Amino acid sequence: MFNRAEVVDQNFSRFVREGKLPLNSSSTTLGESGLSPSDVMDLFETQMMSRHLDLIARILKNKNLCYYTIGSSGHEGNAALGKVFRLTDMAFLHYRSGGFMIQRSKRLPGSTPLFDMMLSFFASTDEPIAGGRHKVFGSLPLLVPPQTSTIASHLPKAVGAALSIARAHAMGIESVMPKDAVVSCSFGDASSNHSTAIGAINMASWVAYQNLPVPLVFVCEDNGIGISVATPNQWVENNFSNRPALKYIAADGLNILDAYAKSREAEKYAVRLMGHAGSDMENSYRTFPQIEAVEFNDPLLHTARIAIENGIATQSQIVDMYESVREQVRSVSESAMKRPQLSRPEKVRETITACVAKRNSPPVPTEEERKTAFGASDWEKAKTPLHMAKLINLGLHDILLRYKNTVIFGEDVAQKGGVYNVTDTLFKKFGAKRVFNSLLDEQSIIGTAIGMAHNGFVPIPEIQFLAYVHNAEDQIRGEAATLAFFSQGLFTNPMVLRVAGLAYQKGFGGHFHNDNSLAVFRDIPGLIIAVPSNGADAVRMMRTCVREAHENGRVVIFIEPIALYMTRDLNTDGDKGWCSEYPAIDEEIPLGAFGVTRVPGSFCRSDASSAALLVRRNADLRSDEPSTPDLTIVTYGNGTYYSRQATGVLATKYGVSVKVIDLRWIAPVDSEKLALEVGACANVLVVEECRKTGSMSEFLVASLVEKYSESEALRHLKLPRIKVVAADDCFIPLGQAAAAGLPKKEEILQAAISLLGLHKKESAEASL
């Protein structure tokens, strides 16, 4: 009873020979379907191939030779979709789409779908899409981006890909899909209840409701059950059939004639066989009669009935064909089993940021082009010291002008210009195709960016507040960041995700608008994470980010410290110490390059005894070179701003020379380079504006300790004394206490005084 796969396998041949076949489940006839008899047998062969792949996977898994048994049994009707959609129609597939992939592969001369899929079962390095990193359906020539676990997380990017088709044509963008392409996206009935699916379908309807083209077919394969949880009868149809601007067509996934006839715009119904996966014991949630009834409603038996009733094949011919396909799959598996597999970690890692189709950046626009794009007012403002928000705004002008495939979108970014006016006037100057508003749904925003990136764009979406990212973090981790890894760089989704974030907003909005943790990004392999501390750096870094996205397909998180958007002064009101002129058009900051500021000690107290104590203190500090500072501060973002305030006091009141290292990039960070920059300095203060637990400071301290012990250039030096000033492990409250647990000038000063031992020397001085 428990090996239901074997039972289903044996029953197929027995039931066909005996003529014991399920009743017709659809009124669509062969003549009405548009299929010829040879087409039916071609699809039937595909269904058999898919079934035998599932069967042999379970056999191999029991021998510990195969690593994946979630198959496509019961879903073989989706072979009809593979026959209908063109190779230029991008497809985002459910993980039970074996029939689709085999049938689509048949349309590509020289393809070897059985061998390719068997290679994925064995996690072979020869597998053409993931190279043994996962069992995925994906192919560049078939235009199927790989999906890992499609619990609806691929729906938002399918919407984005569909939206990009007409837009790319209108803008003259060199796109992947032709202007008449249609995107297909398949998923299961259980996934249709996921918030990601609801949001994506809602977004597609919302856009189509405004008469904008969304050439997208959502295919919901209704199993009637999600693993062990039953889907209420007709739930999918009643849930989606009355949505505005969404056409619903019911197709019978058991009947290959009906599935083919309606597959261009249908969500179809298919019964899943053999449980969720090889380890799924169906008898724990279904009775034996229920299991037998479902197994008898086998799509292959339905197709056998269609072939026999229409005189296309005899019972014996069908059984012979079934056994012939079995032998073909077995032979292919023996060959695939011998192919190499991944073993070395460096080989596994090498595709994290891989990009096969690299592009050159377009030339820098001319001064006249820039003057026109900026407008007279902004062109003149660019010559004066400005705060970060305005400088980023001007930087986006240049980026939109230079990179014609960039688009900026998010909540309120168009006519309103964003919550903080960072995108002000861009909508007016570049138009609705380049700058547009999104739904209030972060999953849809990031998913749309991924989908548009699939079709030649470099999206620059905006998330209004850092805390809002958590509504959609799987779109970054599970979709954007993994695509290059699981496709060996054949597919990438370049983007620069702008996020207004971090704390110090004087209590506005509490924790939901003030999130001081970047840990959600830092543990995702391959991301570029930029955190500028000033406007000039922000512009230069943004240019680097867009270039990396355009040329190398990189996914970038660009954190813009909200509290520094409008900050003009550093030490005193009106000093404009934190303003900058707009950087020259060719200026960038390379990935990983630090910003280093040196503040020499300028001891100005007249007390001779104090001066003598300071001299003795400096003599105690290890320094191989006269230029070695007394203190090095390692920081970024708001921490750089407050550290710079503290250095003025340390220099003038205590005569302390300070080096401030602004990391700028918190991924990637060159630990060796950082340790060398600290060098012989005896005292290091790490200023961390994020919560201490899980923060950047943990990594920085650990990497410094490690590099001082293993680096040839540093091994002769003593490990510096290290102290961390970080935010409390607490959420941000509302009101005057908002910054209470955050490092500021005073906390940095006190930590530096303690680290340098100045408080002890001041006490000694006072006792003289």
Q: How does pLDDT run across 117-161, given as a tens digit for each residue?
A: 999 989 899 999 999 888 889 999 999 999 876 678 999 999 999
User: What single DSSP character describes residue 533?
Assistant: S
Distance from C-alpha of 664 to C-alpha of 176, rounded to nearest angstrom: 34
CA distance 201 to 95: 19
The rounded distance, in Å, linking the Cα atoms of 208 and 480 is 25
In sequence order, what are the beta bridge partners of 298?
none
Cα–Cα distance between 393 and 381 in angstroms, integer?
12
Q: What is the pLDDT of residues 708-766, one digit of tens each?
A: 988 888 888 999 999 999 999 988 887 778 788 889 999 999 999 999 998 666 555 54
Q: 359-366: which pairs have CB atoms within 8 A and are 24 or more residues apart?
A: 359/550, 359/551, 360/551, 361/402, 361/403, 361/547, 361/550, 361/551, 362/402, 362/403, 362/404, 363/402, 364/402, 364/585, 364/586, 365/398, 365/401, 365/402, 365/585
**What is the rounded CA–CA span in Å between residue 597 and residue 657?**
11
Over the stretch 179-231, which tens digit does the pLDDT of each residue have?
999 999 999 888 888 999 999 999 999 999 998 999 999 999 888 777 778 88
3-state secondary structure of 84: helix
For residue 500, report the phi and psi dihedrals to the nearest 5 degrees. -75, 120
Check residue 496 and give its pLDDT: 98
The strand ranges marked E within 31-107 are 91-92
CB 501 within 8 A of CB 561: yes
Instruction: For residue 724, list its beta bridge partners.
Output: 686
How many CA atoms, within 13 angstroms, populate the side-chain half-sphere of residue 402?
Answer: 21
Question: Distance (Å, rounded) from C-alpha 680 to C-alpha 627?
Answer: 10
Q: Token pair of 120, please?
A: 């994925």
CB 749 within 8 A of CB 650: yes
SS3 136: coil
Contact 646, 685 (CB under 8 A): no
Closest CA to 74 of 327, 319, 270: 270
Q: For the chain, what are the domain ranges? A: 4-339, 367-564, 595-767
Stretches where the chain sits below pLDDT 70 are 1-2, 149-150, 264-286, 288, 507-510, 603-626, 759-768
4-339: which CATH topology? Rossmann fold (3.40.50)
Instruction: Give me the pLDDT at residue 621, please.
Output: 36
Confidence at residue 2, expressed as pLDDT on a 0 to 100 scale = 60
User: Considering only CA atoms, which of 184, 283, 273 is closest in space to residue 224?
Assistant: 273
Q: Which residues contact 580 (CB under 8 A, 6 or more apart)?
A: 385, 386, 391, 534, 535, 536
β-pairing, 91-92 with 183-188? parallel
- Across-strand partners of 688? 726
pLDDT in tens, 659-668: 999 999 999 9
**Looking at residue 641, what is its pLDDT?**
97
C-alpha torsion sign, points 664, 669, 675, 679? negative
In the prediction, which pLDDT does 25 show?
81
CA distance 68 to 96: 12
Q: Find the radius of gyration of the CA atoms of the chain.
A: 31
- The C-alpha atoms of residue 624 and residue 679 are separated, in whole angstroms, by 9
CA distance 29 to 26: 8
Q: Are 44 and 271 in contact (CB under 8 A)?
A: no
Measured distance between the N- and C-terminal CA atoms of the chain, rounded to whole angstroms: 93
- The pTM score is 0.88
Pair 266, 249: CB distance under 8 Å = yes
Q: What topology does CATH give the domain 367-564?
A: Rossmann fold (3.40.50)
pLDDT at residue number 305: 94
Distance CA 12, CA 16 (A): 6
Enter the tokens of residue 464: 């209004």
| Whether the Cβ atoms of residue 410 and residue 437 lie closer than 8 Å to each other | yes
- The pLDDT value recorded for residue 755 is 95
Looking at residue 275, its pLDDT comes to 44
Strand pairing report for 216-221 and 183-188: parallel
- Listed in sequence order, the residues at least 6 apart from 389 whose beta carbon sits closer than 8 Å to its beta carbon are 420, 421, 422, 535, 565, 566
Listed in sequence order, the residues at least 6 apart from 586 whose beta carbon sits closer than 8 Å to its beta carbon are: 364
Domain 595-767 belongs in CATH node 3.30.460.90 = no
668 cis-preceded (ω within 30 degrees of 0): yes
> In Å, what is the CA distance from 168 to each residue of 161, 162, 173, 177, 631?
10, 10, 5, 9, 53
Q: Look at residue 150 in the predicted model and tell me its pLDDT.
A: 62
Q: Which residues pair with 557 in a beta bridge?
A: 497, 529
**What pLDDT was estimated at residue 285?**
45
Q: Which two tokens stand for residue 325?
A: 């396909």
Q: Is 736 exposed, middle or buried (0-12, 13-18, 19+ CB in 10 A)?
A: exposed
Q: At what angle do helices 299-309 and 315-336 cross, to 10 degrees?
A: 140
Same fold, 367-564 and 595-767: yes
Which one, of 500, 516, 511, 508, lies nearest residue 743 by Cα?
516
Amino acid code (one letter) for 96: R
Q: Per the structure block, which two tokens stand in for 61?
A: 């898994």
